[in-house]
Amino acid sequence: MIEDVFPPVKLKLSELLKHRDNFLASLTTKRKETVGTYERALREFVQFFPKDGKFMFRVPDVEQYRKHLAQTKKMQDASIATYMTSLRRLCQYLVEIEVLEKNPAKRVYGSARPKQHNRTFLTLDEVDTLLASIDRTSEAGLRDIAIIRLMLGCACSEIELTSLDIGDIELQGKSMFLLMQGKGKSIKDERVQVPPDTAQALNEYLQHRTVIDADGKKHPPAPDTPILLSYSNRSMGGRITIRGVREAIIQRLKSSGVQKGRTGRLTPFSLRHTAGILMVESGASVEELMARMRIAWRPTAMLYFKQKGKLHSSDHEDSRALVSLEKTVKRKKSSSK
């Protein structure tokens, strides 16, 4: 039985609180906001722990805590998932310091897992329409094209976009790479290759921002300058925010006519979903998709494979260039023939 696999471990409240504090202190690579979320969620657990009086880190104990969140606290699925993730991380820490043999919270889901994405995707014709609708003579237009290309070509999330600096760009031969700060991280530990078409869009935007001094010399932005700037009246020239990314792309979706009839379901993050499906249709394996999209949980990646074929990318000219990393190499080969 599961109880035999997970031998009971009885802790005093004072011991649990000490372990909780040490666990939070160990999260040195996590963002401050992530640590704060764990701390708030675990506050409920340490209140439940003495009231329950029977919690000994077995699977039924974790199930009872989840039931408490759903029935007593009347939390929604999204909140339950957050609280259970925090407990799961704490239990894993207790395994690592050899207080527990195994993590019982791994056996209990936080909430029902989605069977499909709740956001839709753009067709490739809609992607063309969206990009063609943007004025390329304005700096804001070039920025928005770069954002769209980054969300498609590199599957960037909104938070990854806002943390990008000029110094995060690495050039290796004819290839461009970006150092990214993933979800929940406090450091930039993801090195992502940029497709040629995306790199071109990014270069066009940054070239527009090149400063020419009195002597006629060109000066590119400093390494610690944000790649993506805000052009709103409130924060002109500062780093773009998540809200800024959303507002800019939603406005482009509306003005291009692409969002017509799909308000609320078509969002900036729909571009990332489009990228995932296109990668699958371009022949990416599950492992390649997880690496390219910075996905840690395999079932999440598999949701894209369930939608394979919906973009009909084989019927769309140059569709793979949106996510391809080999365009330059292929051109090289063809020119040598």
In whole angstroms, how far apart are CA 312 and each of 91, 163, 250, 267? Answer: 44, 33, 25, 21
Strands annotated E in 203-311: 211-212, 218-219
First vs last C-alpha separation in the chain: 66
DSSP 3-state of 176: strand
For residue 1, the model assigns a pLDDT of 37
Angle in degrees, CA 152, 155, 160, rounded to 5: 120
Write the pLDDT tens digit of every residue in 148-180: 999 999 999 888 999 999 999 999 998 999 998
Chain CA centroid to CA 90, Å:
23
Give the residue with greater pLDDT, 247 vs 261: 247
Closest CA to 244 of 131, 161, 328: 161
Give one word for 287, left, alpha or beta, with left for phi > 0 and alpha for psi -120 to 50: alpha
Chain CA centroid to CA 329, Å:
28
Other C-beta atoms within 10 Å of 238: how many?
13
Structure-token pair, residue 310: 């919906």
CA–CA gap between residue 82 and residue 334 (Å, rounded): 51
Chain CA centroid to CA 285, Å:
19
In whole angstroms, how far apart are CA 184 and each of 31, 160, 306, 323, 324? Answer: 5, 10, 27, 25, 27
Q: Which helix (H) or strand (E) holds 304?
A: helix 298-305
- Going by DSSP bridges, is the β-strand pair 169-172/218-219 parallel, antiparallel, or unpaired? unpaired
Write the pLDDT tens digit of every residue in 88-119: 999 999 999 999 999 999 888 765 555 555 56
CA–CA gap between residue 31 and residue 29 (Å, rounded): 7
DSSP 3-state of 175: strand
The CATH code for residues 2-107 is: 1.10.150.130
The fold of the 124-324 domain, in CATH, is: hpI Integrase; Chain A (1.10.443)
Write the pLDDT tens digit of every residue in 193-204: 999 999 999 999
pLDDT band at 316 (very low <50, low <70, confident <90, very high): confident
Q: Where are the domains of the chain?
A: 2-107, 124-324
Can you tell me the mean pLDDT for 243-258? 93
